[in-house]
Amino acid sequence: MSISPADLERYRRAGHVTLAGIFEPAEMDAAIADAVAWSDAFIAGLDAAERQWYLEETDGGVAAVRKLDNPHHHRPTFRRLAADLRLLDVVEQIIGKGVTVYFSQIFFKPPHGGGPKPVHQDNFYFGPADLDGLITVWIALDAATVKNGCLQFADGSHRGSVLAHEAPADSPFNLQIPAAVADRHAMRPAPVPKGGISLHHGTTLHQSSDNRSADWRRACALHYVRNDNPFVTPALPYDRDMALQVSGH
Protein backbone atom coordinates (compact mmCIF):
# COMPACT_ATOMS: atom_id res chain seq x y z
CA MET A 1 0.00 0.00 0.00
CA SER A 2 1.22 3.51 -0.70
CA ILE A 3 0.27 6.88 0.71
CA SER A 4 -1.15 9.29 -1.85
CA PRO A 5 0.81 12.46 -2.72
CA ALA A 6 -2.02 14.55 -1.25
CA ASP A 7 -1.95 12.65 2.07
CA LEU A 8 1.83 12.81 2.20
CA GLU A 9 1.69 16.55 1.65
CA ARG A 10 -0.96 16.82 4.38
CA TYR A 11 1.36 14.98 6.77
CA ARG A 12 4.29 17.23 5.86
CA ARG A 13 2.19 20.36 6.35
CA ALA A 14 0.14 19.50 9.45
CA GLY A 15 2.36 16.92 11.15
CA HIS A 16 -0.34 14.25 11.04
CA VAL A 17 -2.70 12.52 8.63
CA THR A 18 -5.63 10.12 8.92
CA LEU A 19 -6.00 7.19 6.52
CA ALA A 20 -9.26 5.24 6.48
CA GLY A 21 -9.86 1.61 5.51
CA ILE A 22 -6.41 0.20 6.21
CA PHE A 23 -7.77 -2.82 8.11
CA GLU A 24 -11.05 -4.68 7.84
CA PRO A 25 -13.52 -4.45 10.77
CA ALA A 26 -13.16 -8.20 11.36
CA GLU A 27 -9.41 -7.75 11.83
CA MET A 28 -10.06 -5.07 14.43
CA ASP A 29 -12.61 -7.27 16.20
CA ALA A 30 -10.01 -10.05 16.45
CA ALA A 31 -7.48 -7.59 17.86
CA ILE A 32 -10.05 -6.34 20.39
CA ALA A 33 -10.81 -9.90 21.50
CA ASP A 34 -7.11 -10.54 22.05
CA ALA A 35 -6.68 -7.24 23.93
CA VAL A 36 -9.64 -8.03 26.19
CA ALA A 37 -8.30 -11.51 26.97
CA TRP A 38 -4.92 -9.99 27.86
CA SER A 39 -6.62 -7.29 29.93
CA ASP A 40 -8.63 -9.82 31.92
CA ALA A 41 -5.51 -11.82 32.76
CA PHE A 42 -3.63 -8.64 33.64
CA ILE A 43 -6.34 -7.42 36.04
CA ALA A 44 -6.39 -10.76 37.83
CA GLY A 45 -2.73 -10.37 38.73
CA LEU A 46 -2.83 -6.82 40.13
CA ASP A 47 -2.43 -5.95 43.79
CA ALA A 48 -4.37 -3.07 45.41
CA ALA A 49 -1.76 -0.39 44.66
CA GLU A 50 -1.42 -1.51 41.04
CA ARG A 51 -5.18 -1.52 40.58
CA GLN A 52 -5.28 2.14 41.58
CA TRP A 53 -2.67 3.03 38.94
CA TYR A 54 -3.77 0.84 36.02
CA LEU A 55 -7.57 0.76 36.31
CA GLU A 56 -10.40 3.21 35.81
CA GLU A 57 -14.13 2.71 36.26
CA THR A 58 -16.63 2.40 33.44
CA ASP A 59 -20.09 3.96 33.66
CA GLY A 60 -21.35 0.69 35.15
CA GLY A 61 -18.81 0.81 37.96
CA VAL A 62 -16.74 -1.99 36.43
CA ALA A 63 -12.97 -1.58 36.57
CA ALA A 64 -11.21 -1.49 33.19
CA VAL A 65 -7.53 -1.27 32.33
CA ARG A 66 -6.46 2.18 31.09
CA LYS A 67 -3.65 0.87 28.90
CA LEU A 68 -1.29 -2.04 28.34
CA ASP A 69 2.29 -1.60 27.18
CA ASN A 70 4.23 -3.31 24.41
CA PRO A 71 1.55 -5.52 22.83
CA HIS A 72 3.85 -5.87 19.80
CA HIS A 73 6.19 -7.84 22.09
CA HIS A 74 3.71 -9.73 24.27
CA ARG A 75 0.90 -10.62 21.85
CA PRO A 76 1.36 -12.32 18.45
CA THR A 77 -1.82 -10.64 17.16
CA PHE A 78 -0.32 -7.20 17.64
CA ARG A 79 3.14 -8.29 16.50
CA ARG A 80 1.56 -9.20 13.18
CA LEU A 81 -0.17 -5.82 13.01
CA ALA A 82 3.12 -4.04 13.69
CA ALA A 83 4.81 -5.86 10.79
CA ASP A 84 1.84 -5.68 8.40
CA LEU A 85 2.94 -4.36 5.01
CA ARG A 86 -0.12 -2.13 4.84
CA LEU A 87 1.41 -0.13 7.68
CA LEU A 88 5.05 -0.67 6.91
CA ASP A 89 4.87 0.60 3.35
CA VAL A 90 3.26 3.86 4.47
CA VAL A 91 5.67 4.32 7.39
CA GLU A 92 8.73 3.83 5.19
CA GLN A 93 7.47 6.28 2.59
CA ILE A 94 7.39 8.92 5.34
CA ILE A 95 10.50 8.28 7.49
CA GLY A 96 12.66 6.10 5.22
CA LYS A 97 13.54 2.45 4.71
CA GLY A 98 14.43 0.17 7.60
CA VAL A 99 12.37 0.66 10.76
CA THR A 100 11.94 -0.77 14.25
CA VAL A 101 8.99 -0.65 16.66
CA TYR A 102 10.43 0.43 20.01
CA PHE A 103 7.30 0.83 22.08
CA SER A 104 3.59 0.24 21.70
CA GLN A 105 0.43 0.61 23.75
CA ILE A 106 -3.19 -0.46 23.76
CA PHE A 107 -5.51 2.27 25.05
CA PHE A 108 -8.93 1.08 26.25
CA LYS A 109 -10.80 4.32 27.14
CA PRO A 110 -14.05 2.72 28.37
CA PRO A 111 -17.54 4.26 27.99
CA HIS A 112 -18.20 7.22 30.29
CA GLY A 113 -14.99 6.42 32.12
CA GLY A 114 -11.99 6.76 29.85
CA GLY A 115 -9.99 9.73 31.01
CA PRO A 116 -8.06 12.33 28.96
CA LYS A 117 -4.39 12.31 27.98
CA PRO A 118 -2.77 15.77 28.37
CA VAL A 119 -0.86 17.54 25.60
CA HIS A 120 2.54 15.96 24.88
CA GLN A 121 5.11 15.22 22.18
CA ASP A 122 6.36 11.69 21.54
CA ASN A 123 9.83 12.92 20.62
CA PHE A 124 10.27 14.21 24.17
CA TYR A 125 9.76 10.69 25.50
CA PHE A 126 12.16 9.01 23.03
CA GLY A 127 14.73 11.74 22.36
CA PRO A 128 15.79 10.55 18.88
CA ALA A 129 18.81 12.03 17.11
CA ASP A 130 16.68 12.76 14.02
CA LEU A 131 13.32 14.21 15.04
CA ASP A 132 11.88 13.42 11.58
CA GLY A 133 12.88 9.75 11.90
CA LEU A 134 10.16 8.73 14.38
CA ILE A 135 6.48 8.35 13.62
CA THR A 136 3.53 7.12 15.66
CA VAL A 137 0.89 4.98 13.98
CA TRP A 138 -2.38 4.97 15.93
CA ILE A 139 -4.75 2.17 14.88
CA ALA A 140 -8.46 2.66 15.59
CA LEU A 141 -9.68 -0.70 16.90
CA ASP A 142 -13.03 1.04 17.48
CA ALA A 143 -14.21 4.15 15.68
CA ALA A 144 -12.62 7.16 17.39
CA THR A 145 -14.99 10.14 17.50
CA VAL A 146 -15.03 13.58 19.09
CA LYS A 147 -17.50 12.32 21.70
CA ASN A 148 -15.53 9.24 22.73
CA GLY A 149 -12.17 10.97 22.95
CA CYS A 150 -10.36 10.88 19.61
CA LEU A 151 -6.89 12.36 19.23
CA GLN A 152 -6.51 16.11 18.83
CA PHE A 153 -3.53 17.79 17.16
CA ALA A 154 -1.90 21.21 16.96
CA ASP A 155 -1.49 21.50 13.19
CA GLY A 156 2.04 22.43 12.12
CA SER A 157 3.52 22.11 15.61
CA HIS A 158 6.01 19.51 14.33
CA ARG A 159 7.93 22.38 12.74
CA GLY A 160 8.66 23.79 16.19
CA SER A 161 10.95 22.52 18.91
CA VAL A 162 10.54 19.74 21.43
CA LEU A 163 9.17 21.45 24.53
CA ALA A 164 9.90 20.80 28.19
CA HIS A 165 7.49 18.35 29.85
CA GLU A 166 6.69 17.84 33.51
CA ALA A 167 4.79 15.23 35.50
CA PRO A 168 2.35 15.59 38.42
CA ALA A 169 3.85 14.57 41.75
CA ASP A 170 1.47 11.62 42.06
CA SER A 171 2.00 10.46 38.46
CA PRO A 172 5.75 10.54 37.70
CA PHE A 173 5.51 8.77 34.32
CA ASN A 174 2.69 10.98 33.00
CA LEU A 175 5.00 13.53 31.38
CA GLN A 176 3.13 16.38 29.72
CA ILE A 177 3.50 19.94 28.50
CA PRO A 178 2.53 22.42 31.25
CA ALA A 179 -1.03 23.70 30.78
CA ALA A 180 0.11 27.33 30.52
CA VAL A 181 2.25 26.41 27.50
CA ALA A 182 -0.21 23.94 25.98
CA ASP A 183 -2.99 26.53 26.06
CA ARG A 184 -1.11 28.59 23.47
CA HIS A 185 -1.70 25.89 20.86
CA ALA A 186 -5.09 25.37 19.23
CA MET A 187 -5.99 21.69 19.08
CA ARG A 188 -8.07 20.17 16.29
CA PRO A 189 -9.89 16.82 16.70
CA ALA A 190 -9.01 14.08 14.22
CA PRO A 191 -11.65 11.31 14.20
CA VAL A 192 -10.57 7.94 12.83
CA PRO A 193 -13.01 5.28 11.54
CA LYS A 194 -12.70 1.69 12.76
CA GLY A 195 -9.82 0.06 10.91
CA GLY A 196 -8.30 3.41 9.96
CA ILE A 197 -5.02 4.84 11.20
CA SER A 198 -3.72 8.20 12.33
CA LEU A 199 -0.04 8.89 11.70
CA HIS A 200 1.75 11.71 13.46
CA HIS A 201 5.24 13.16 13.59
CA GLY A 202 7.05 12.72 16.89
CA THR A 203 7.15 16.47 17.54
CA THR A 204 3.46 17.14 16.80
CA LEU A 205 1.61 18.29 19.92
CA HIS A 206 -1.38 16.05 20.60
CA GLN A 207 -3.82 15.04 23.29
CA SER A 208 -7.10 13.20 23.76
CA SER A 209 -10.18 14.11 25.77
CA ASP A 210 -12.29 11.92 28.03
CA ASN A 211 -14.87 9.46 26.71
CA ARG A 212 -18.31 11.06 27.08
CA SER A 213 -20.08 8.40 25.02
CA ALA A 214 -21.56 4.95 25.58
CA ASP A 215 -18.98 3.46 23.19
CA TRP A 216 -15.52 2.06 23.76
CA ARG A 217 -12.57 3.84 22.14
CA ARG A 218 -9.90 1.17 21.97
CA ALA A 219 -6.76 1.84 19.96
CA CYS A 220 -3.21 0.60 19.48
CA ALA A 221 -0.28 3.02 19.15
CA LEU A 222 2.93 1.80 17.51
CA HIS A 223 6.09 3.92 17.57
CA TYR A 224 8.29 3.33 14.51
CA VAL A 225 11.88 4.56 14.50
CA ARG A 226 14.26 4.46 11.54
CA ASN A 227 17.03 1.97 12.25
CA ASP A 228 19.83 4.55 11.94
CA ASN A 229 18.15 6.92 14.42
CA PRO A 230 19.40 6.32 17.99
CA PHE A 231 17.80 7.73 21.13
CA VAL A 232 20.16 10.39 22.50
CA THR A 233 18.00 12.14 25.12
CA PRO A 234 15.25 9.70 26.18
CA ALA A 235 13.04 10.90 29.03
CA LEU A 236 11.93 7.37 29.92
CA PRO A 237 13.71 4.01 29.94
CA TYR A 238 13.05 1.66 27.03
CA ASP A 239 13.78 -2.06 27.05
CA ARG A 240 15.80 -2.72 23.90
CA ASP A 241 14.98 -6.41 24.19
CA MET A 242 11.36 -5.53 23.36
CA ALA A 243 12.27 -3.68 20.16
CA LEU A 244 10.89 -5.31 17.02
CA GLN A 245 12.86 -4.64 13.85
CA VAL A 246 10.35 -5.05 11.05
CA SER A 247 12.50 -4.09 8.07
CA GLY A 248 16.09 -3.35 7.05
CA HIS A 249 19.33 -4.85 8.33
Domain of 46, CATH number, reads: 2.60.120.620
User: Minimal CA–CA distance to 219: which of 66, 51, 2?
Assistant: 66
Structural domains of the chain, count: 1
| pTM metric for this prediction | 0.94
List, in sequence order, the alpha helices (H) in 63-213. Answer: 71-74, 76-83, 85-95, 122-126, 179-182
Phi and psi for 220 in degrees, rounded to 5? -125, 125
Those residues whose C-beta lies under 8 Å from the C-beta of residue 49, and which sit 6 or more positions away, are none
pLDDT at 59: 67
Positions in the chain whose pLDDT score sits under 70: 59-62, 172
Those residues whose C-beta lies under 8 Å from the C-beta of residue 203, and which sit 6 or more positions away, are 15, 121, 122, 123, 131, 157, 158, 159, 160, 161, 162
Percent of the chain with pLDDT over 90: 80
* Spatial contact of 72 and 244, defined as CB atoms under 8 Å apart: yes
pLDDT at 169: 74
pLDDT at 60: 67
User: Minimal CA–CA distance to 74: which of 35, 47, 109, 100?
Assistant: 35
pLDDT at 120: 95
Q: Are strands 55-57 and 63-65 parallel, antiparallel or unpaired?
A: antiparallel
pLDDT tens, position by position, 137-156: 999 999 999 999 999 999 99
Those residues whose C-beta lies under 8 Å from the C-beta of residue 23, and which sit 6 or more positions away, are 81, 86, 139, 195, 196
What angle do the packed helices 25-44 and 76-83 form, to 10 degrees?
140
User: Minimal CA–CA distance to 207: which of 107, 105, 116, 113?
Assistant: 116
User: Which domain range does residue 31 map to?
Assistant: 5-245
In order of 9, 132, 157, the CA distances from 87 in angstroms are 18, 18, 24
